[in-house]
């Protein structure tokens, strides 16, 4: 079972595979020499013709063979390691480069969880394919022929019987290969699907808890996990049954060779030493092929994983060398439409105008298409209909890397890396001075806190786990300010943070207006009241458009949402009038 595509994609590993086979063959030759020397000495002892010289020669042969086999085993393991390292390094580099070429819209064609699984565990499975299976495959072909040539000088009938029985093991492997390939394909399909569901639920855990849907998703995941357990048990059953069949063939073939050797010594065709040589080397005929059978199941798993790797590497790429990002940074949409499943329009004829340096907010209830609009502008989604332009150039025609270099996106949960505050900020502006870094931190009101800690060298845990949610988001905003791009998109950047952090974040966002084009997406209307223009989305359509005071006065959809949010925010506030004084107290809600 050789996949020419795999060998073609990592040709550098084959030299290590060849070296591993050569070392294993050298170990076999050393073992054959030791066995033949032992049998010759035993035959001489039986006949009473052995002398001291024979025993010394035997000892030298045994020690030399043991040293040679030890060195060959170490060398073969080393070659297997080098082959597998080459494979993992090459494949992961190819996957990474493919994702870069696909650009931010890669998730339209492949799920993130599947990419992670094939790049990690999928490549690990192929590590065994190249490091163990392929060397064993070629060695299993070479070893029986070498033994046949050696034993043919001892006894031809026994050597022929052993050689004829060896192909029965690959026949048994071929018998289960078709079934195993189909079963392992289903196994990997369910495995990646389960991983995708787990990642999606984990990322949306807060939302599930808010809407009390966590128990439903738990039951759904339990059902998927049970289906995966069942198919895993089927894979293990298939592997154990095929191993049993291969053991029967191997032991049966060795027994047949031993039986022929005993019949030959009884007939006087060979002497005691020859009979012992056939008996001791009979197992070596089948051990390599039997070991190949053990690696076969791991190899099949790797082959199933490779199908997904090749599917990822074969995904169509957006045209290279798109247009450069224009100098003018106005953003316009005309009759913009987009659908995820081809049925329901998430964006249904949206039109908007964001002038260069303008500050436009997009609001609406969850699911109205706000984040989809942001994803289209960032190039994360393609295949839209209508027109979406930046500086008069269609977003779909822009070079993906150039687009991301000129548009800064800040979501509700920006990622902070393990390291220092300085290192996280320099990601956005590698050449920034400490004064520039402090200025960005001052703009987000985070400088005072950090000066009381370790300053710019304050250590951060992965995802900024040692900061509060508001501090993490303010640090992400500071990093965005350092990027200094002509267009900024803030998607719920001030959600799920405390009031102080929200004020700091919105102050920084408003400070960008005029010197950069700012698009603010928010569900909280108090945050967008100062925008030049507010776009109200409802079921993928533009329901209203105007300034805050105009929309409130109009009494439409925006006014309804505004009043509802004000009532929720003022819920529990009690006003008391005592004489000439007025006080407010917050009661228990």
Q: CATH class for domain 4-313?
A: mainly alpha
- Closest alpha carbon to 363 in 505, 538, 565, 487: 538
User: Which two structure tokens, joined as six digits, stand for 286?
Assistant: 């089948």
Give Dmax (Cα) for the chain: 129
Residue segments in the chain with a per-residue pLDDT below the cut of 50:
572-589
Taking phi over 0 as left and psi of -120 to 50 as alpha, with beta for the rest, 386 belongs to left
Full-model pTM: 0.61
pLDDT confidence of residue 561: 83
Task: Count CB-CB contacts under 10 A for residue 238.
Answer: 17
Phi, psi at 25, each rounded to 5°: -65, -40
Q: Report the distance separating Cα 259 and Cα 86, nearest Å.
A: 46
Q: Report the distance separating Cα 307 and Cα 185, nearest Å.
A: 9
Establish how many alpha carbons lie within 13 A of residue 12's alpha carbon, considering only the half-sphere containing its beta carbon. 9
pLDDT confidence of residue 71: 93
pLDDT confidence of residue 177: 63
Q: At CA 377, angle to CA 372 and CA 381, rounded to 5?
A: 55
Q: Domain extents for the chain?
A: 4-313, 331-578
In the block, residue with structure tokens 């392929």:
134
Contact 320, 197 (CB under 8 A): no
pLDDT confidence of residue 74: 92
Q: What is the 3-state secondary structure (H, E, C) of 376-429?
A: HHCCCCCCCEEEEEECCEEHHHECHHHHHHHEEEECCCCCCCCEEHHHHHHCCC
Using CA atoms, how far residue 18 sits from 64, 246, 286, in Å, is 24, 26, 21
Q: Report the distance separating Cα 96 and Cα 343, nearest Å.
A: 32
User: Which two structure tokens, joined as six digits, stand for 360?
Assistant: 């436009």
Alpha carbon dihedral 313, 314, 318, 322, in 10-degree steps, equals: 60
User: For the domain 331-578, what is the CATH code?
Assistant: 3.40.50.300
Three-state SS at 212:
coil
Q: What is the DSSP letter of 321?
A: S
Q: 4-313 and 331-578: same fold? A: no
Q: Report the distance separating Cα 548 and Cα 252, nearest Å.
A: 87
């Amino acid at each position: 079972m050789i996949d020419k595509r795999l060998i073609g994609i990592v040709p550098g590993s084959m030299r290590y595979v060849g070296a591993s086979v050569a070392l294993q063959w050298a170990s076999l030759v050393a073992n054959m020499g030791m066995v033949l020397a032992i049998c010759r000495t035993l035959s001489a002892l039986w006949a009473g013709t052995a002398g001291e010289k024979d025993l010394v020669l035997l000892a030298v042969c045994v020690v030399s063979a043991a040293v040679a086999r030890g060195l060959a085993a170490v060398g073969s393991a080393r070659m297997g390691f080098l082959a597998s390292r080459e494979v993992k390094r090459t494949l992961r580099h190819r996957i990474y480069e493919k994702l870069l070429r696909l650009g931010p819209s890669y998730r339209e064609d492949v799920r993130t969880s599947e990419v992670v699984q094939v790049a990690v565990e999928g490549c690990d499975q192929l590590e065994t394919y190249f490091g163990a299976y392929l060397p064993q495959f070629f060695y299993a072909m070479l070893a029986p022929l070498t033994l046949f040539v050696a034993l043919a000088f001892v006894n031809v009938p026994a050597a022929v019987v052993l050689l004829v029985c060896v192909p029965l093991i690959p026949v048994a492997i071929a018998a289960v290969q078709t079934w195993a390939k189909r079963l392992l394909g289903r196994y990997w399909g369910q495995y990646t699907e389960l991983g995708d569901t787990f990642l999606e639920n984990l990322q949306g855990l807060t939302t599930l808890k808010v809407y009390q849907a966590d128990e439903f998703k738990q039951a759904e995941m339990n059902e998927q996990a049970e289906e995966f357990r069942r198919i895993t048990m089927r894979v293990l059953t298939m592997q154990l049954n095929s191993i049993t069949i291969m053991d029967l063939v191997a032991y049966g073939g060795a027994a047949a060779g031993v039986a022929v050797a005993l019949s030959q010594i009884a007939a006087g065709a060979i002497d005691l030493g020859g009979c012992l040589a056939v008996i001791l080397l009979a197992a070596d005929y089948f051990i390599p092929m039997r070991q190949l059978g053990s690696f076969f199941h791991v190899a099949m798993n790797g082959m199933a994983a490779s199908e997904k790797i090749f599917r990822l590497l074969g995904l169509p790429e957006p045209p290279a060398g798109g247009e450069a990002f224009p100098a003018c940074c106005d953003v316009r949409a005309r009759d913009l439409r987009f659908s995820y499943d081809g049925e329901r329009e998430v964006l249904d004829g949206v039109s908007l105008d964001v002038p260069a340096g303008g500050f436009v907010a997009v609001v609406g209830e969850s699911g109205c298409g706000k984040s989809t609009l942001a994803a289209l502008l960032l190039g994360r989604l393609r295949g839209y209909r209508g027109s979406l332009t930046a500086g008069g150039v269609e977003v779909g025609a822009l070079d993906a890397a150039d687009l991301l270099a000129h548009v800064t996106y800040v979501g509700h949960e920006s990622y902070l890396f393990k390291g220092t505050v300085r290192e996280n900020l320099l990601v956005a502006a590698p050449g920034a001075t400490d004064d520039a870094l402090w200025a960005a931190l001052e703009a987000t009101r985070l400088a005072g806190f950090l000066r009381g800690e370790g300053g710019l060298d304050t250590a951060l845990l992965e995802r900024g786990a040692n900061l509060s949610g508001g501090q993490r988001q303010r640090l992400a905003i500071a990093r965005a300010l350092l990027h200094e791009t002509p267009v900024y998109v803030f998607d719920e950047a001030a959600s799920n943070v405390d009031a102080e952090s929200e004020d700091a974040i919105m102050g920084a966002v408003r400070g960008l207006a005029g010197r950069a084009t700012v698009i603010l997406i928010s569900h909280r209307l108090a945050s967008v009241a100062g925008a030049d223009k507010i776009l109200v989305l409802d079921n993928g359509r533009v329901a209203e458009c105007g300034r805050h005071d105009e929309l409130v006065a109009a009494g439409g959809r925006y006014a309804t949402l505004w009043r509802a949010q004000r009532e929720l925010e003022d819920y529990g506030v009690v006003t008391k009038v005592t004489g000439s004084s007025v006080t407010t107290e917050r009661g228990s809600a």
